[in-house]
Amino acid sequence: MRPPAEVLPHCPPFLFLDEVTSMVAGERAEGYWRLTGDESFFAGHFPGRPTLPGVLMAEAIAQLGAYIVLHDDRFAGKLPLFGGLDGARFRRQVGPGDRLDLEVEMTRLSARGGRGQGKASVNDEVACQCEMLFVVVDAG
């Protein structure tokens, strides 16, 4: 599988997917984001108790979803954008040194967009779950 940086339009410091470990194009994937503690948001969120913001967990899930979508031939040269986030639940704090394991399954995919379900976990303990809606637009 190609590295996320070769597939996604995101780049550091806003690339939250280190590796995709398994994938069925257009359907599902698994991957992870390893948090080193050097990420700038830890300094202010929260001093003395560095915690990954929940919205960044949801973004990491969405980036894995975008990786799936961009491997579907129908979406070559396109850009998947957030259309909505439903049912987001944050169940565990995530901090420096944690590996955030990500799973996404697409539940609907059409020429204009779709819907997927995602989960982020640390040591098999769910940290975040959400359903995401997205639209697909021309990248240029």
Catalytically active residues are 45
Asked if 5 contacts 11 with a C-beta cutoff of 8 angstroms, the reply is yes
Q: How many helices (H) and strands (E) does the chain have?
A: 3, 6
Nearest of 100, 86, 17 to residue 51 by alpha carbon = 100
User: In terms of C-beta distances under 8 Å and separation of at least 24 residues, what long-range contacts does 50-55 make, across chains too?
Assistant: 50/95, 50/96, 51/93, 51/94, 51/95, 52/93, 52/94, 52/95, 52/98, 52/100, 54/88, 54/90, 54/128
**Which 8-state DSSP code applies to residue 8?**
S
- The residues that bridge with 105 in the sheet, in sequence order, are 28, 117
